[in-house]
Amino acid sequence: MNEPKVKYKRVDSSVHGEVKEIKLIGEDEKDKNYFVFWINHNNEHRSTRVSHKELFDWFKIDQLEFDKKFMKLSELGD
């Protein structure tokens, strides 16, 4: 049985480990930053608070992936 190929993404040293999967990107409306919830290469769940530039630089994502993972606070409901 073949195991699925895992896609790793290198991030800045401020973010511990390597990113295996970004689960969700949320907005922090107070200061225009983002919260990123992700799983590292050891299957540990992590979260990181980043600016717009840090999000794209550290996580090496493109606009398409951002659009798929981004969720506005208003979309989360009560």
In a domain, 67, yes or no: yes
Does some domain include residue 54? yes
Tally of structural domains, the chain: 1
Residue 56 dihedral angles phi and psi, to the nearest 5° = -75, -35
Is 12 inside any structural domain?
A: no
Structural domain contains residue 6: no
The predicted model scores a pTM of 0.73
In angstroms, the CA 78 to CA 73 distance is 10
Q: Write down the residue that tokens 């993404």 correspond to.
A: 9
Domain containing residue 67: 19-73
Whether the CA torsion 13, 45, 18, 34 is positive or negative: it is: negative
In a domain, 9, yes or no: no
- Does residue 1 form part of some domain? no
Angle (CA) 73 18 25, round 5°: 10
Tens of pLDDT, residue by residue over 30-57, are 788 998 888 888 888 888 888 999 898 8
Cα dihedral sign, 50-53-56-58: negative
Residue 11 lies in a domain: no
Domain membership of residue 5 (yes or no) is no
Query: Is pLDDT of 68 > 90?
Result: yes
pLDDT digits (tens, 9 = 90+) for 6-18: 555 666 666 766 7
